[in-house]
Chain A
Amino acid sequence: MGEAGAFVAELNDLQRLLDEFTKHGYTVYGPIVKGKSWVFSKVSSIRELDLNYTRTILPPKKLLHPVKNRIFDFKLNDGFEVFESCNVKNIVIFGIHPCDLRAIEKLDEFFSQHPEDVCYEARRKRTLIVGLTCNAVDEKCFCNSLGTGPEASTGFDILITQISDGFFLVEVGSSKGLDILKTLDLAEAKPEHFEAKRKHIEHLKSSFTKTADFEGLATLAKDKLDHKIWVETAERCLSCGNCSMVCPVCYCFDLYDSLDLTLKEGVRIMELDSCQLLEYAEVALGGNFRKERSQRLRHWLLCKFGAAGGSTYTSCIGCGRCIVYCPANIDLTEIAHVLKGG
């Protein structure tokens, strides 16, 4: 990134960018309004997008690590035949906020660990990421406290920032991004445009009302496995799994087989799973090492504080989704506060 790799654009230029993606065989997904919420959905026009969105229900992970995904088809004969079936197409995810960009970086790092999840890798390789600096923050946002926003410096092919009404700074994050942008003949950005962005970021930073302090919690929380906060919070927790389903870094999944009615053919399915569900940790003969709701809630919170098996790959990026979608108003920043002796 730098001034050499930055342009300015108006809304119709962004439309041209979308058209360029389509011309190159990409399907474009972007944030659109759904009732009172937003979702990443297929779009063809820039006007379908709501560039003022706060957060989508499901994070962009739904396009890279789908909620349900056939990993192979199989046929049963004398033995079996397996047919790999990870379904990959070229997509652009347009308008991802900085916190979600950071989440995708974490998923990338996680799934590329040996042995690589080849389906994830294949999807990721054919995905272009267009970041969007937030236009505003709301009372559930706290990326600023975690250093995962509101400014993105990595994790995108192109980054768009609205610097004044209908006028955008378009920064390049990769050669792929540059190749596409070059075809648009956009004017190069000038220092004043970067200055405008800097001011916008400053303004964003000053508008956060929610703060979180997770510093050192990965160790601290594990020293407080017996803290009463776990049990107390679990009294409210519904174990509905919303928190982990909407979390942009929660990757846990189930694998199961589904046979068709001939009982000779079927599919193995990878499906998003949640550690909040009773069945998640059940072992043979019904044993369960996280049978108590408080254990499951604690496990998820430890995970978000970076103290579970996902380590920092699954630690919180401050998007606020789990807080918005918790029917019991459980707020991990409040729990962090209590654990830190607040």
Chain B
Amino acid sequence: MSNPYIPRKAIIESIRDETPDIKTFRIKFKDGSFNFNPGQFVMVSMLGVGESAISISSHPEDADKFVELSIRKVGNVTGSIFKLKPGSTIGIRGPFGNGWPMDEASGKNLLIVGGGCGQGALRPLILDVLRHRDCYGRVEILYGARTPQDLMFKYEHDIWARVPDGCLLLTVDSIPTSVEWKYNLGVVTTLFGKTLIKPENSLALICGPEIMMHFAVRGLLSMGFKSDQIYLSMERRMKCGIGKCGHCQIGSKYVCKDGPVFTHSDLIHEPDKIL
């Protein structure tokens, strides 16, 4: 029986800037293999500073070569990771949580809605669509951020946009004066009018700030989506990642163990959420 609190060692192979406060760290494990599902997360350890829950942003099929973590600098742990250079060692526990409903999504139209750094958790799903296009119906990616600078994975947007029978719709809350922007202006729900996906045989998969998910859910419900067709990746404080420490509870649900992906109907009767 191994100790679930002991982190494994991983080496940072490369680092790329995504936005002014988000970087993607490509890591490789020093020992053994690593398997995960799209939408799962890991606990990243900076020994001496602490641990943070981070979504995996790369595709499972690449895991034997590398795993990517897109990290926003928000606190002690993430701030310390930002100071690291390629070659540095970090600690990893996991993967944890359930991930996106890949079996359920198979053969369906997907409306993928991302907000801000929530796009990191959605990228493995998007990559899966790109690699296994035949497995899904129509796929529309709606992605919003505060400003054009805050959009992650810009270098891939062209590829996402060219998905056959699909589209990429971008939006931002505001545009700094010096920036050119040819897409939508407004919160991500303002894109809902442009989608072609109808609720039948479709799923909506959402990750972003909870207030954004709240409005997205309302929009989707009014479009005719049912509560159990709407999947949300939730964020809560996490300490252990394995359903023990209690911090991530939303009512009777553990985000780390029962989630982080829930259907809207899973959460509808739970307290202490904005949804």
Contact = CB atoms under 8 A, between A and B. Distances in A.
Contacts of A252: 245-247
A310 interface: yes
Point out which of A74, A253, A255, A307 has the most chain B C-beta atoms below 10 A from its C-beta: A255
Contact of A289 (B72, B78, B273): B273
Nearest to B7: A82
A253 B237 contact: no
B246 A275 contact: yes
Contacts of B237: 280-283
Contacts of A251: 244, 246
Contact of A116 (B4, B49, B246): B4
B211 to A, nearest CB: 10
B6 A72 contact: yes
Contacts of A295: 271-272
A192 interface: no
A289 B239 contact: no
A72 B5 contact: yes
Interface string B1-41: 11111110101000000000000000000000000000000
A80 B91 contact: yes
B251 A222 contact: yes
A264 to B, nearest CB: 9
Interface string A66-82: 00000110101011101
Interface string B160-194: 00000000000000000000000000000000000
Contacts of B140: none
A113 interface: yes
Contact of B251 (A117, A257, A309): A309
Contacts of B51: 255
Nearest to A285: B74
A253 B239 contact: yes
B72 to A, nearest CB: 8
Contact of B48 (A118, A263, A280, A299): A263
Interface residues of A, number: 52
A273 B2 contact: no
Interface string B121-133: 0000000000000
Contacts of B269: 222
Contacts of A254: 239, 245, 247
B235 A121 contact: no
A309 B50 contact: no
Nearest to B75: A284
Contacts of A177: none
A266 interface: yes
B67 interface: no
Contacts of A79: 9, 11, 88-89
Contacts of A117: 4, 244
Contacts, number: 132
Point out which of A71, A253, A285, A308 has the most chain B C-beta atoms below 10 A from its C-beta: A308
Contacts of A72: 3, 5-6
A341 interface: no
Given A281-B237, A310-B246, A118 B2 contact: yes
Contacts of B206: none
Given A118-B3, A119-B3, A251-B244, A283 B272 contact: no
B247 A113 contact: no
Interface string A258-286: 01000100101010010100001111110
Query: What is the size category of the interface that chain B forms with chain A?
Result: 35 or more
Contacts of B72: 284
A115 interface: yes
Nearest to A296: B272
Interface string B238-275: 01101111110111111000000000000001111110
B236 interface: yes
A298 B49 contact: no
A77 B153 CA distance: 33
A124 to B, nearest CB: 13
Contacts of B250: 289, 309
A268 B246 CA distance: 18
A84 interface: yes
Given A79-B89, A82-B6, A253 B236 contact: no
Contacts of B75: 284-285
A299 B245 contact: no
19 contacts: A71-B5, A72-B6, A76-B47, A79-B89, A80-B89, A82-B6, A84-B6, A110-B244, A119-B5, A222-B251, A222-B252, A251-B246, A253-B240, A253-B246, A270-B5, A283-B236, A283-B237, A289-B236, A309-B252
Interface of A: 71-72, 74, 76, 78-80, 82, 84, 86, 110-111, 113, 115-119, 121, 222, 225, 251-257, 259, 263, 266, 268, 270, 273, 275, 280-285, 289-290, 295, 298-299, 302, 307-311
Interface of B: 1-7, 9, 11, 47-51, 72, 74-75, 78, 88-89, 91, 210, 235-237, 239-240, 242-247, 249-254, 269-274
Given A84-B3, A222-B270, A253-B244, 10 more contacts: A76-B48, A115-B4, A252-B245, A273-B245, A280-B237, A284-B78, A289-B250, A295-B272, A302-B252, A310-B246
